[in-house]
Amino acid sequence: MNLVNKVIVITGGTSGIGRQIVEQLQAQNTIIVVARNSDRLEQLKKRYKNVTCFPADLSDPGSYQPLSERIQAEFPRVDVLINNAAIQNEPFFTDPDFEYEKITREINVNFTAVCALSYLLIPALNGNEAQSIILNINSGLSFVAKKSASVYCATKAAINLFSQSLSYQLEHTNIKVLQAFIPLVDTPMTQGRGENKISAECAAKSILKGLKQQKPQHDIGKIKVLRILNTLTPSLAKRLLKGS
Ligand SMILES: NC(=O)c1ccc[n+]([C@@H]2O[C@H](COP(=O)([O-])OP(=O)(O)OC[C@H]3O[C@@H](n4cnc5c(N)ncnc54)[C@H](OP(=O)(O)O)[C@@H]3O)[C@@H](O)[C@H]2O)c1
């Protein structure tokens, strides 16, 4: 796909990888950013003339329908939906400060919103004679778990099969479903943990390369090694990621 003059919806475009994707696409495309933080949304709008912002809290399933209606009222045609927003809660289930109600919020942001927006924006994605794309941002934690993020890992695993199944459902339409699997990236999500992270700028560049090439499963950087390791010696892959 030629990423010029496209209408692109991205969730979580105000920080980290999403923010970099916005920066790299905004000059030649119309970008619709969905996130909560109004200050950061305002800043984006002021800085980039091609960026439109729709505040929404994706942890609230009640926000999905009004959001998609507002997007489609202004943009009846959408070329690309990038489901990028996610959160990662780390406390263990056995920790005294574990907050039970956060389980549902994490599942909603990371997974329910991905399914719901993919469904609700199908009319806009389909209303386009050319190719359109749903790109889901995924992680190595979708196929090898780490100890401290059970719900996050499970939502990413769910996105993987959801993306594959949805791509079967849409194979006779103009909508392709792609996934980008990314390694550890230096963003607010990974602040204070992990080593040898790649920059958000570099992650965004690789994601957009895969999007242009319409790769259904785009493994970025160390994910390629992790996938081979997980096939050849899954016990080693598990050991490496367990405490990561
Ligand atoms: N960083 C990594 O190492 C890494 C590795 C593999 C995969 N990934 C994936 O890459 C994607 C981006 O991660 P990142 O590291 O760039 O994260 P990040 O810097 O923490 O940014 C998360 C984005 O999601 C938005 N968001 C969070 N909660 C939201 C909610 N309730 N409603 C709407 N928007 C919400 C945030 O905006 P507001 O706070 O304003 O709402 C922000 O724009 C995620 O899918 C993540 O799973 C990251």
Mean pLDDT on 144-164: 97
Residue 129: give the domain boundaries: 7-242
pLDDT at position 244 is: 85
- Quote the pLDDT of residue 222: 96
pLDDT of 195? 87
CA 129–ligand 1 middle distance (angstroms): 31
pLDDT digits (tens, 9 = 90+) for 222-236: 999 999 999 999 999
Which residue type is seen at 22?
A: V
**Cross-strand bridge partners of residue 35:** 55
pLDDT one-digit tens code per residue, 160-195: 999 999 999 999 999 999 999 999 999 999 998 888
pLDDT value, residue 130: 87
8 Å CB contact between 17 and 185: yes
1 within some domain: no
Number of folded domains that form the chain? 1
pLDDT at 128 > cutoff 80: no
Which residues touch 191 (CB under 8 Å, ≥6 apart)? Answer: none
Q: What does the pLDDT average to over 40-66?
A: 97
Is 237 inside any structural domain?
yes
pLDDT, averaged across the chain: 96
| pLDDT tens per residue across span 80-95 | 999 999 999 999 999 9
In a domain, residue 71? The reply is: yes
**Does residue 2 lie within any of the structural domains?**
no
Report which ligand 1 atom has the smallest distance to the Cα of 141.
Answer: 6
Query: Which residue ranges have their beta carbon within 6 Å of ligand 1?
Result: 11-12, 14-18, 35-37, 40, 56-59, 84-87, 109, 137, 139, 182, 184-185, 187-190
Looking at ligand 1, which residue's alpha carbon is closest to its atom 44? 86
| CA 14 to ligand 1: nearest atom | 43
Tell me the best of 10, 11, 17, 108 to mutate to test the pocket of ligand 1, counting ligand atoms within 8 Å of each CB and taking the most. Answer: 17
pLDDT band with cut points at 50, 70 and 90 for residue 96: very high
Residue 129 has pLDDT above 80, yes or no: no
Across 24-48, average pLDDT: 97
CATH number at residue 95: 3.40.50.720
Q: Taking residues 121-129, report their average pLDDT.
A: 89
Q: Could you tell me the pLDDT band of residue 127, with boundaries at 50, 70 and 90? A: confident
Out of 146, 148, 187, give the residue to mutate to test ligand 1, the one with the largest number of ligand atoms within 8 Å of its CB: 187
Say if 145 falls within a structural domain. Answer: yes
Asked whether residue 234 is assigned to any structural domain, the reply reads: yes
CA 86 to centroid of ligand 1, rounded, Å: 4
pTM: 0.98
